[in-house]
């Protein structure tokens, strides 16, 4: 028969792993590792503070751009009103000129009609037999 060598003691191994686990849990008490956690906490706090500041800065930029936008709209609207007023003035002036031209055109047409009637009457008179010539 073949000789069997020593066999592993699993209960002993399990106990040693348990003890090892307890010892590893004490690693968090090592100052160098604890300082690392404190550094990470400080970094997280700094990151949070910077995020808050960036958010505040974003809000201020938004407020300023909104204010600039409102001022631009107000100025554009004022400029638009001034152009409208000026165009209205010019429109009224052109309407007055147009009315004058219409009146002049009407007077010209009336004068032309009168002149044409006079010409027609003169033509009729010149074509009618002269009573002195027939006698």
Both tokens of 5, joined, read 């060598």
Tens-place pLDDT, residues 85-125: 999 999 999 999 999 999 999 999 999 999 999 999 998 88
* pLDDT > 70 fraction of the chain, expressed in percent and rounded: 93
| Phi, psi angles (nearest 5°) of residue 28 | -65, -15
pLDDT score, position 135: 47
Instruction: Supply the pLDDT for residue 109.
Output: 95
Task: Please report the pLDDT score of residue 34 as a whole number.
Answer: 66
Q: What is the torsion angle, in degrees rounded to the nearest 10, for the CA atoms of residue 44, residue 50, residue 52 and residue 58?
A: -150
Q: Predicted confidence band at 32 (pLDDT cuts at 50, 70, 90)?
A: confident
Tell me which of 26 and 77 has the higher pLDDT: 77
The H-or-E segment that residue 7 falls in is: none
pLDDT at position 131 is 53
Contact 43, 50 (CB under 8 A): no
**CA–CA separation, 99 and 91 (whole Å):** 12
Residue-averaged pLDDT of the chain: 90
pLDDT score, position 132: 54
Q: ∠ at Cα 79 (75, 83), nearest 5°?
A: 170
Map tokens 């009103």 to a residue: 81
Question: What's the DSSP call for residue 30?
Answer: S
**Arithmetic mean of pLDDT, 23-52:** 86
Find the radius of gyration of the CA atoms of the chain. 55
Q: Which residue has the higher pLDDT, 91 or 132?
A: 91
Please give the structure tokens belonging to residue 39: 């550094």
């Amino acid at each position: 028969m073949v000789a069997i060598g020593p066999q592993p003691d699993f209960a002993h191994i399990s106990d040693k792993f348990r003890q090892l686990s307890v010892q590893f849990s004490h690693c968090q008490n090592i100052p160098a590792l604890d300082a690392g956690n404190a550094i990470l906490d400080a970094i997280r706090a700094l990151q949070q503070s910077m995020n808050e500041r960036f958010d505040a800065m974003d809000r201020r930029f938004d407020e300023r751009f909104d204010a600039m936008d409102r001022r631009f709209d107000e100025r554009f609207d004022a400029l638009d009103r001034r152009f409208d007023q000026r165009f209205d003035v010019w429109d009224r002036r052109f309407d007055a000129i147009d009315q004058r031209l219409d009146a002049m055109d009407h007077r010209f047409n009336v004068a032309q009609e009168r002149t044409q009637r006079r010409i027609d009457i003169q033509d009729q008179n010149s074509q009618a037999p002269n009573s002195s010539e027939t006698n």
